[in-house]
Structure 1
């Protein structure tokens, strides 16, 4: 396996000023979505000759485009990165929540003239609308919460902009989300922006990387894994969503299951230290906002769980929150990174 895929992203630079539960219900561990590509609808005129209009389904809504959007905003670095990878850097009129993580130099080099609309939280309503987008790509529905002072989907529509939430980012999909949701987003964006060839190339590359991991870990003994998020002394466990699927694909067995009552309505739940101790995971995977957060989490785990197998054997795996956002190529990075930690003898 090409090891660069497991290390090319850095831990995010900034932490949002949210509580752990807000973080979980917002973007950092993210909500989920439901998106399905629909074939282009034939129509008359010049745009029809180029494949327009096209319709995609997203979060239970049908979005129809008469032509490719020209003024685009990515509401997190993860979304901005995917747009750039699809060759759409020249259409970006805004990027947001840029403190979440550092993008690779080849990506940032294409964003030097793209205005930053916000650092840590989603952009305020007036800032997003002021960028005059006609397409906004978000990792979750949280970024469209009017009660938080953000532009709602309806307000964006009133300003002439379509809002697209990553397929892993709608609330009705969150608990059942998988890494494959990313490929729905890539296909949808390829269709909307008429860059289907590049979208197919990205998907093929991503699927090949996942297949390589699957082939490498096939038949290997699967260690038990707890996936956690720590904010201060508040401990949250993951029992569903794309994070659950990432562990499974990496060759681990989650100690928390999707069908447990605690995860009946959401993919994550606050748990007691005693609950972790009783399940005694062999590996603990934890998501982090930055280097400071990683250090604090490691210290908490060492102090709280000295006798848990994962801590006693120093099998603690930090993963940037940004790699767990719905609709990001980082999902694939996370599978590779975790697989290499779960099965070091195979990579």
Structure 2
């Protein structure tokens, strides 16, 4: 069973104490005056080269002014104790707020853009390092090659597996010389996910439809999406995990009806609102025929929670409780 193989994969972890991140006050985007770097400290930095999904990055000194493009990347920096380096973030429109432990620090971070980052905002930010989710880059977004011309090192967040996300965390740890903190964070995530997996391992996987948005079909996560992995770790099975040529896809209502999900997992973010999505589902002539809809078997989660970042364990815990409420009473 897939769940048993996941349990074996996670079973070699060592449980460690809670990682406590340090805080830092934020000023305005562009100044970076909250980070006190001296030439002496930077002179001791040993340059190195890392691979970022096929792109070689050479890091010659610790960054001092960072843009985090995406709430998942911003919160990961906070979780690792690196919030004092952030001079701006983006995509808060896809956030329902930071986890309680990080709320105060998140609120202090300047907002570069509420929605997707713009070329102008990034280029004029004064940043020397950009850590952003992959959809923030490309022909219609921010061009990585142009950022390099402006002296900005760009690290793309694009994990689809746990190992890839762990590598991102380790790379950030190395870049900012906090390897021990990065490793401790990974171990804590592994331990918490293992605990969940041990509870659900003997259960028949719950068939899950991911509902991001509706309209001309349902926009859903596919088999290569990081969210599908989190669903599996929580004891579920994405009913569209057989789509593997892209991370997101629009599927027909009729195909959903044919696959009969046990649970509908709804993303909660700004537009359309969660209430509107529920109304759309109940009023659709096809979706309303699903037993999951008739019996109101819905699980909701904020979009940022299913993106690759710091919320792996939190999301697996939340989903498992939604999939198997009787096991977590």
The two structures share one fold, judged by TM-score above 0.5: yes
Which residue of the other structure, out of 146, 151, 168, is the alignment partner of 2:142? 151
Change (3 A) 1:106 1:236: closer
> In 1, Cα distance between the equivalents of 2:114 and 2:41?
40
Contact 1:54-1:191 within 8 A present in 2 as well: no
> In 2, Cα distance between the equivalents of 1:335 and 1:325?
12
Aligned residues: 285
Q: Does residue 322 in structure 1 map to residue 322 in structure 2?
A: no
TM-score (structure 1 length as normaliser): 0.76
Of stretches 303-312 and 200-209 in structure 1, the one that deviates more from structure 2 is: 303-312
User: Which structure exhibits the higher relative contact order, with contacts defined as CA atoms closer than 8 Å and separated by 6 or more residues?
Assistant: 1
Mapping for residues 148-227 of structure 1, pairs under 5 Å: 148=140, 150-168=141-159, 177-227=160-210
Compute the displacement of 1:288 (Å).
2.5
Compute the displacement of 1:282 (Å).
1.1
* Structure 2 counterpart SS, 1:345: helix
Instruction: Quote the residue 1:36 is aligned against.
Output: none
1:265-308 C-alpha deviation (Å, 9 max, x unpaired): 21332121111111111111122214862111111222222331
Instruction: Quote the residue 2:290 is aligned against.
Output: 308
Which residue of the other structure, out of 97, 101, 115, is the alignment partner of 2:110? 115
* Structure 2 counterpart SS, 1:94: strand
1:85-132 C-alpha deviation (Å, 9 max, x unpaired): 22212211212222321124553433555432101122x212111111
Change (3 A) 1:57 1:273: same
Aligned Cα root-mean-square deviation (Å): 2.2
* Structure 1 counterpart SS, 2:325: coil
Q: Does residue 239 in structure 1 map to residue 233 in structure 2?
A: no
> In 2, Cα distance between the equivalents of 1:178 and 1:154?
26
Instruction: Quote the residue 1:125 is aligned against.
Output: 119
Contact 2:216-2:252 within 8 A present in 1 as well: no
Compute the displacement of 1:79 (Å).
0.8
Q: Does residue 138 in structure 1 map to residue 132 in structure 2?
A: yes
> In 2, Cα distance between the equivalents of 1:152 and 1:228?
30
Compute the displacement of 1:343 (Å).
1.0
Which residue of the other structure, out of 86, 91, 96, is the alignment partner of 2:85? 91
Unaligned runs of 5+ in 2: 1-39
Change (3 A) 1:99 1:212: same
* Structure 2 counterpart SS, 1:87: coil
Q: Does residue 280 in structure 1 map to residue 260 in structure 2?
A: yes
Instruction: Quote the residue 1:103 is aligned against.
Output: 98
TM-score (structure 2 length as normaliser): 0.80
* Structure 2 counterpart SS, 1:109: helix
> In 2, Cα distance between the equivalents of 1:113 and 1:334?
24
> In 1, Cα distance between the equivalents of 2:241 and 2:92?
33
1:198-226 C-alpha deviation (Å, 9 max, x unpaired): 10111111111111111111112222222
Unaligned runs of 5+ in 1: 1-44, 169-176
* Structure 2 counterpart SS, 1:224: strand
* Structure 1 counterpart SS, 2:273: helix
* Structure 1 counterpart SS, 2:289: coil
